Chains A and B, each alone.
Chain A
Amino acid sequence: QKEVEQDPGPLSVPEGAIVSLNCTYSNSAFQYFMWYRQYSRKGPELLMYTYSSGNKEDGRFTAQVDKSSKYISLFIRDSQPSDSATYLCAMRGGTSGSRLTFGEGTQLTVNP
């Protein structure tokens, strides 16, 4: 069983929709929870991260962590065609040291 599970999609939504992306994990020692965005033929880039539990908001993006359920989410409000990309969750903590454990990534397309 993978330490981090993420539905690969693909997910297709109309412009302006609210998008919800999710990951579940099994390692209760994870403390850092990240969302990376990867455009086609590019390397991933950090979108936002959360330490421990709670919510974090950055413009149209909101990250949520529920450690009791081992579940993290990324919400995108008023989605735009430029948000079309693959979104990867990543986590680290405990005995993993510096290693990040990535989810498979969810491919999102926002249609104009």
Chain B
Amino acid sequence: EAQVTQNPRYLITVTGKKLTVTCSQNMNHEYMSWYRQDPGLGLRQIYYSMNVEVTDKGDVPEGYKVSRKEKRNFPLILESPSPNQTSLYFCASSRSGGGYVTQYFGPGTRLTVL
């Protein structure tokens, strides 16, 4: 089954404790992206990757890091989480052709930073 998986699905942590949210896709997609979803603000892009070892900032990259060492994986790293990073996070992937319109989203990770 074609899918994007994220782990963990739920996470409660404390300010300053480094964490990583994993994302993996099995569709051989070149393009991967991280979004956060907040009430009143909708989905906003954090970082994206056009291919292995190629990453770039989205709209709200502050406080986040990413890496793309393998085509299927695109982890999101919060080195020193703060309460304003409490949000619902989605990883997405798509093939590079077709205008990037068909993005496949993971099930989401709900993060709470105390």
Interface residues of A (CB under 8 A from B): 6, 8, 32, 34, 41-46, 49, 51, 88, 90, 92, 98-100, 102-105
A88 to B90, CA, bound (A): 14
In the complex formed, the residue of A with least CB distance to B106 is A43
Does B43 lie within 8 Å of A99, measured CB to CB?
no
A sample of 22 inter-chain contacts (CB < 8 A) reads A32-B100, A41-B107, A42-B107, A43-B4, A43-B90, A43-B106, A44-B103, A45-B105, A46-B102, A49-B101, A51-B99, A88-B42, A88-B43, A90-B43, A98-B31, A98-B33, A98-B48, A98-B100, A100-B45, A100-B100, A100-B101, A104-B40
In the complex formed, the residue of A with least CB distance to B94 is A98
Interface residues of B (CB under 8 A from A): 4, 31, 33, 40-45, 48, 50, 58-59, 90, 92, 99-108
In the complex formed, the residue of A with least CB distance to B40 is A104
A105 to B108, CA, bound (A): 16
Question: How far is the CB of B93 from the nearest CB of chain A, in Å?
Answer: 11
Question: How far is the CB of A74 from the nearest CB of chain B, in Å?
Answer: 15
A67 to B62, CA, bound (A): 33
Does B108 lie within 8 Å of A43, measured CB to CB?
yes
Question: How far is the CB of B84 from the nearest CB of chain A, in Å?
Answer: 19
Q: Which residue of B45, B90, B108 is within 8 Å of A99 (Cβ)?
A: B45
